[in-house]
Amino acid sequence: MNRDAAWLPLTMELARWEDAGRTAEFWLRDDDAVEPTEPLDRLLGLTEKFGVPATLAVIPAFTGKALAIRLAGASQVTVAVHGWSHENHAPDEEKKQELGRHRERGMVRDDLGRGLFHITNLHGPRMVPLLVPPWNRIHPDLLPDLMPLGFTALSVFGPAKPAAIRTINSNVDLMDWHGTRGCRDHGLIARDIAAQLAQAFEGGDAVGILTHHLVHDEAAWVFLEDLFELTAGHRACGWRSIRELIATGEEAAR
């Protein structure tokens, strides 16, 4: 399948939005940032080139000043809290989870509190009080604890569910985690984005693209650049920062 054919469902869906005079909202979340690396430089270069806001989910336990210094000039980047140490506490027969009920609730709260404190101290106004749970999993019993700790929003993966905190999820993942562990087929990703846009047209969530710069193969980088090239200048597309999406949700809740 050539590139034009692979992207046809997405280009057709965007044409529908343009014909309706509407703007589709996209946002970008990239997980597992810790320190400056060549892949991070490549991600930041792409987002800067196309003017795409990016939210980096940073692992607090393993990050420090080096990342804060690297991001100092990256005006398009905000930083979120990616759990505490991205450590699995679930037994082998369960899916991996750091923020579950496998430890005392107070211990989990303490980890989240110090994670938010550490990221705030390092990144200051660049930090957004958004929690991104490792592996996109958090036990529902912990959700009422998030706002008292200082978080204003949560982001996992998939359709947003009713919760005690504003939820803004990613819903399209570039990576084939259960197969090649490389980039998924470009045509399949484009169709997934088109499907999310079709839901958004009827009042669904913004299209949340999920990336993991540290494990991208070349196909993932090519897809991301092609996506930015298609959408960043498109009249029916708008790449939003997480701050804008949180603010929009707060206004809608009033």
How far apart are the two ends of the chain, measured CA to CA in Å?
47
Whether 243 contacts 155, CB under 8 Å: no
Strands in 67-217 per DSSP E:
77-81, 127-131, 153-154, 166-167, 172-173, 207-211
Q: Where are the domains of the chain?
A: 25-175+206-216+235-253
Whether 84 contacts 105, CB under 8 Å: no
Q: Look at residue 204 and give its three-state secondary structure.
A: coil
Give the pLDDT score at 39.
Answer: 98
Give the pLDDT score at 37.
Answer: 98
| Residue 1 CB neighbour total at 10 angstroms | 10
Residues lower than pLDDT 70 in the chain:
1-3, 249-254
Give the pLDDT score at 167.
Answer: 96
The Cα–Cα gap between 194 and 196 comes to 5
Tens of pLDDT, residue by residue over 77-118, are 999 999 999 998 988 889 999 999 899 999 999 999 999 999
CATH number of 25-175+206-216+235-253: 3.20.20.370
How far is Cα of residue 99 from the mean position of the Cα atoms in its chain?
18
Whether 196 contacts 14, CB under 8 Å: no
Give the pLDDT score at 212.
Answer: 98
Q: Would you state the structure tokens that stand for residue 70, as one six-digit string?
A: 């690297």
Q: Do you know the residue count of the chain?
A: 254
The Cα–Cα gap between 87 and 137 comes to 12
Distances 9 to 188, 195, 248 between C-alpha atoms, Å: 10, 9, 28
The Cα–Cα gap between 151 and 112 comes to 9
Give the pLDDT score at 254.
Answer: 47
Q: What DSSP string describes 208-252?
A: EEEE-GGG--HHHHHHHHHHHHHHTT-TTEEE--HHHHHHHHHHH
Q: Which amino acid is at 27?
A: W
Q: Which amino acid is at 211?
A: T
Q: How many CA atoms lie within 13 A of 90 on its CB side?
A: 16
The Cα–Cα gap between 200 and 75 comes to 28
